[in-house]
């Protein structure tokens, strides 16, 4: 008798992400009708044609790793869905070859369990979607791969019998990917391996619970936008597979903050279409078919609106696609948004205006997974250009990239490369947290204050405020109180050409100009520093640090810098940060 969790298992195949062949028939009709889905399908089919034309040379026994697992996942899903919509055998034939090659590898590198999880998901999808065209021996080979190289190592982790099982109790993206990938494998072969499948599903549900509760109630995610994408990709796989195969998500879709999490991605993108690349992220836009899944699951068309211009030809984009006719103004989205749990604020002067003024400002937690020593940092866009940049992460293969004794020696990860304060040339405390202690918003005007005191052990108190005064002006204000005199350096990384005249600076980029002015203290002037890191670290020869230099060391400081799109902009009144609106809220 099947264990309780499998009592509602949908009989037959396919049952992963769809509820039968009729779903593919309906999808095929939609993909052939005029409209955006047809364009996705045509591009996807072109990719499938290229894959089908490739000879099957197999994978060498040494092949493996996360890159291979992801390649197999995308190739198999692409070929399988195009076969289902076209009926052409060449796509199924090539998908089978890829799956069989992967199933015959010695292992899927369980020591780096993400590789296992993504390969399980890849073969589970192909096994389920192509079940009726797989020969019995092909089914046995692929099923054995899923079971022996995927589910059994997963069971060893859940049972505490593997030395690579740390992810079972983590709250970071590893939990969602590992548990989600294993669940797909379990559901694909549940009728043939019910005992293993049931234990995977039950153990995975317990494991992922803590990580699911790690979402901010507002939908924020402390690993940044890139790892939000990876997390939500597998949340979508996980819950969609449960829903289609069991008719339930086991309550995971009611996780506080999950329905709102698409807002975190949406606000992270500035008018240029680039994300704020805090932490180990990058400033280019990664696709996220999970936004379509969120839009459909929680009836939030604004998520589909955001993703629609950047849709990619992937199987899940085609399967989950929503049109999203409703924009941010119709949806009533505010121009200024705080994500309370992760202490990040986004401010913009307008929606759907590529010239709009936009700023992202973070407090946060230096211990967050993939985090940098960047409390108080900001990213800024205006006039269609990104002026204040975050370099994002470096090469994960650098020695000790994730080791506490090496990580903070790397330029892109430490305080020296971020748009914040540097005291006495030192990095921030790696255990520090910076809560937002003030927040206010009214239309396109907003402000926030972060308490950075824990990040700077040499100071008694460090506060930073960022205010968007109007559509042309931003104020960055710092207040430092120290027990002894310290050197304070204000810095902002930029790729713009820089002209300095004392307490004023002009940045030029893309035919536009941005103006900076020091409003106090007297004697402070702008300067520049390079942004070069020693090899083999990533190089950024086009970037420089615009810095504020003080006449000397200080015990007490109020430093205010106005950033404006207009040369003649009037300076705002500088008030103590504790008098800024929303203090204590």
Q: pLDDT value at position 229?
A: 92
Instruction: Please check whether residue 386 is in contact with residue 272, taking contact to mean a CB–CB distance below 8 angstroms.
Output: yes
The residue whose two tokens read 């109007």 is: 470
In DSSP notation, 251-309 reads TGGG-TTTTTHHHHHHHHB-TTS-B--TTT--SSPPP-THHHHHHHHHT-HHHHHHHGG
Q: Measure CA of the first residue to CA of the last residue in the chain; give whole Å.
A: 56
Query: Across-strand partners of 518?
Result: 561
Q: What does the block give as tokens for 212? A: 């699911």
Q: What does the block give as tokens for 548? A: 């504020």
Q: pLDDT value at position 1?
A: 39
Identify the three-state secondary structure at position 27. helix
Residue burial 365-382, b: 16+ Cβ < 10 Å; e: rest: bbebbbbbbbbbbbbbbb
Report how far apart, in Å, the C-alpha atoms of 465 and of each of 23, 361, 440, 579 are. Answer: 52, 9, 11, 11
Q: Would you tell me which CATH number, out of the four given (3.90.1640.10, 3.20.20.80, 1.50.10.100, 1.10.150.530), belongs to the domain 4-330?
A: 1.50.10.100
CA–CA separation, 583 vs 585, rounded Å? Answer: 6
Residue 522's contacts (CB-CB under 8 Å, 6 or more residues apart) are none
CA–CA separation, 152 vs 158, rounded Å? Answer: 10
Q: pLDDT value at position 325?
A: 77
CA–CA separation, 544 vs 527, rounded Å? Answer: 10
Nearest to 47 by CA among 82, 72, 22: 82
Model confidence at 263, pLDDT cuts 50, 70, 90, reads: very high
Model confidence at 246, pLDDT cuts 50, 70, 90, reads: very high
Residue burial 30-41, b: 16+ Cβ < 10 Å; e: rest: ebeeeeebeebb
pLDDT digits (tens, 9 = 90+) for 437-484: 999 999 889 999 999 999 999 999 999 999 999 999 999 999 999 989
Query: Across-strand partners of 462?
Result: 480
Residues 479-495 have a mean pLDDT of 97
pLDDT digits (tens, 9 = 90+) for 566-581: 999 999 999 999 999 9
Instruction: Please check whether residue 235 is in contact with residue 181, taking contact to mean a CB–CB distance below 8 angstroms.
Output: no
Model confidence at 270, pLDDT cuts 50, 70, 90, reads: very high
- pLDDT at residue 359 above 60? yes
Instruction: Please check whether residue 79 is in contact with residue 95, taking contact to mean a CB–CB distance below 8 angstroms.
Output: yes
Share of the chain above pLDDT 70, in %: 99
Could you list the beta-strand ranges (E) of 287-432: 336-339, 344-348, 358-362, 364-365, 378-382, 385-388, 421-423
- pLDDT at residue 397 above 80? yes
Instruction: Please check whether residue 361 is in contact with residue 467, taking contact to mean a CB–CB distance below 8 angstroms.
Output: no
Model confidence at 519, pLDDT cuts 50, 70, 90, reads: very high
Kindly report the backbone phi and psi dihedral angles of residue 388, in degrees, each rounded to the nearest multiple of 5, phi listed first. Answer: -100, 115
SS (H, E, C) 149-216: HHHHHHHHHHCCCCCCCHHHHCCCHHHHHHHHHHHHHHHHCCCCCHHHHHHHHHHHHHHHHHHHCCCC
CA–CA separation, 575 vs 400, rounded Å? Answer: 44
Instruction: Please check whether residue 91 is in contact with residue 44, taking contact to mean a CB–CB distance below 8 angstroms.
Output: no
What is residue 269's DSSP assignment?
B
- pLDDT at residue 2 above 70? no
Residue 36's contacts (CB-CB under 8 Å, 6 or more residues apart) are 308, 311, 321, 323
Instruction: Please check whether residue 491 is in contact with residue 547, taking contact to mean a CB–CB distance below 8 angstroms.
Output: yes
Instruction: Please check whether residue 176 is in contact with residue 115, taking contact to mean a CB–CB distance below 8 angstroms.
Output: no
How many other CB atoms are there within 10 angstroms of residue 290's CB atom? 27
- pLDDT at residue 138 above 90? yes
Length of the chain: 585
Query: Across-strand partners of 339?
Result: 344
- pLDDT at residue 383 above 60? yes
Q: pLDDT value at position 63?
A: 81
Q: Would you tell me which CATH number, out of the four given (2.70.98.70, 1.10.1060.10, 3.40.47.10, 3.40.640.10), belongs to the domain 336-579?
A: 2.70.98.70
Q: pLDDT value at position 59?
A: 84
Strand 473-486 to strand 488-494: parallel, antiparallel, or no bridges (unpaired)? Answer: unpaired
Identify the three-state secondary structure at position 474. strand
CA–CA separation, 334 vs 489, rounded Å? Answer: 34
Identify the three-state secondary structure at position 9. coil
Residue 57's contacts (CB-CB under 8 Å, 6 or more residues apart) are none
Domain map of the chain by residue range?
Answer: 4-330, 336-579
What is residue 426's DSSP assignment?
B
Q: pLDDT value at position 277?
A: 87
Which of 302-316, 363-377, 445-459 shows the lowest per-residue confidence on average (mean pLDDT)? 302-316
The residue whose two tokens read 């907003």 is: 446
Q: pLDDT value at position 113?
A: 97
- pLDDT at residue 103 above 80? yes
Q: What does the block give as tokens for 507? A: 């940045």
Instruction: Please check whether residue 8 is in contact with residue 232, taking contact to mean a CB–CB distance below 8 angstroms.
Output: no
Could you tell me the pTM of the whole model?
Answer: 0.95
Identify the three-state secondary structure at position 512. strand
- pLDDT at residue 560 above 70? yes
Residues 346-371 have a mean pLDDT of 96
Please, what sign has the CA dihedral across residues 31, 33, 36, 38?
A: positive
pLDDT digits (tens, 9 = 90+) for 22-68: 999 999 999 999 988 999 999 999 999 999 999 887 888 778 899 99
SS (H, E, C) 200-256: HHHHHHHHHHHHHCCCCCCCCCCCHHHHHHHHHHHHHHHHHHHHHHHCCCCCHHHCC
How many other CB atoms are there within 10 angstroms of residue 506's CB atom? 17
Model confidence at 71, pLDDT cuts 50, 70, 90, reads: very high
């Amino acid at each position: 008798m099947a264990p309780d969790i499998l009592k509602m298992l949908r009989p037959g195949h396919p049952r992963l992400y769809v509820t039968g062949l009729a779903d593919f028939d309906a999808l095929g009709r939609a993909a052939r009708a005029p409209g955006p889905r047809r364009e996705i399908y045509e591009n996807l089919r072109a990719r499938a044609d290229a894959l089908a034309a490739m000879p099957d040379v197999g994978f060498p026994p040494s092949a493996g790793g996360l890159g291979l697992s992801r390649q197999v996942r995308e190739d198999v899903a692409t070929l399988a869905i195009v076969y289902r919509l076209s009926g052409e055998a060449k796509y199924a034939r090539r998908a089978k070859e890829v799956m069989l090659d992967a199933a015959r590898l010695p292992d899927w590198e369980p020591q780096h369990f993400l590789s296992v999880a993504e390969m399980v998901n890849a073969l589970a999808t192909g096994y389920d979607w192509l079940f009726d065209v797989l020969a019995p021996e092909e089914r046995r080979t692929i099923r054995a791969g899923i079971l022996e190289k995927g589910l059994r190592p997963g069971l060893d982790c859940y049972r505490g019998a593997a030395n690579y099982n740390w992810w079972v109790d983590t709250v970071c993206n590893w939990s969602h990917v590992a548990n989600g990938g294993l669940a797909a494998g379990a559901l694909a072969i549940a009728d043939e391996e019910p005992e293993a499948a049931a234990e995977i599903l039950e153990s995975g549900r317990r494991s992922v619970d803590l990580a699911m509760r790690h979402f901010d109630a507002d939908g924020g995610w402390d690993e940044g936008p890139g790892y939000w994408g990876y997390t939500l990709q597998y949340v979508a796989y996980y819950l969609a597979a449960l829903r289609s195969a069991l008719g339930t998500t086991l309550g995971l879709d009611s996780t506080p903050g999950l329905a709102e999490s698409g807002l975190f991605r949406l606000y992270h993108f500035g008018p240029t279409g680039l994300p704020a690349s805090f932490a180990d992220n990058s400033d280019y836009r990664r696709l996220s078919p999970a936004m379509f899944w969120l839009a459909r699951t929680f009836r939030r068309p604004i998520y589909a609106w955001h993703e629609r211009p950047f849709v990619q030809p992937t199987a899940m984009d085609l399967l989950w696609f929503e049109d999203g006719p409703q924009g941010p103004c119709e949806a009533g989205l505010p121009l200024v948004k705080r994500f309370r749990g992760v202490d990040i604020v986004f401010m913009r002067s307008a929606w759907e205006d590529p010239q709009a003024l936009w700023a992202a400002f973070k407090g946060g937690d230096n211990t967050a997974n993939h985090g940098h020593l960047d409390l108080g940092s900001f990213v800024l866009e205006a006039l269609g250009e990104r002026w204040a940049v975050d370099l994002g992460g470096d090469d994960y293969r650098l020695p000790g990239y994730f080791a506490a004794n090496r990580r903070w020696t790397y330029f892109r990860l430490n305080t020296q490369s971020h748009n914040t304060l540097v005291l006495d040339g030192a990095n921030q405390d790696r255990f520090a947290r910076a809560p937002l202690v003030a927040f206010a918003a009214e239309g396109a005007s907003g402000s926030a204050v972060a308490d950075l005191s824990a990040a700077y052990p040499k100071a008694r108190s460090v506060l930073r405020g960022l205010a968007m005064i109007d559509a042309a002006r931003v104020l960055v204000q710092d207040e430092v109180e120290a027990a002894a005199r310290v050197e304070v350096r204000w810095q902002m990384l930029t790729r713009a050409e820089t002209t300095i005249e004392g307490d004023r600076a002009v940045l030029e980029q893309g035919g536009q100009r941005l103006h900076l002015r020091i409003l106090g203290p007297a004697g402070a002037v702008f300067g520049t520093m390079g942004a070069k890191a020693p090899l083999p670290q990533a190089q950024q020869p086009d970037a420089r640090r615009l810095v504020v230099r003080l006449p000397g060391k200080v015990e007490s400081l109020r430093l205010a810098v106005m950033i404006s799109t207009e040369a003649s902009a009037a300076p705002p009144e500088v008030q103590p940060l504790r008098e800024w609106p929303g203090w204590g809220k």
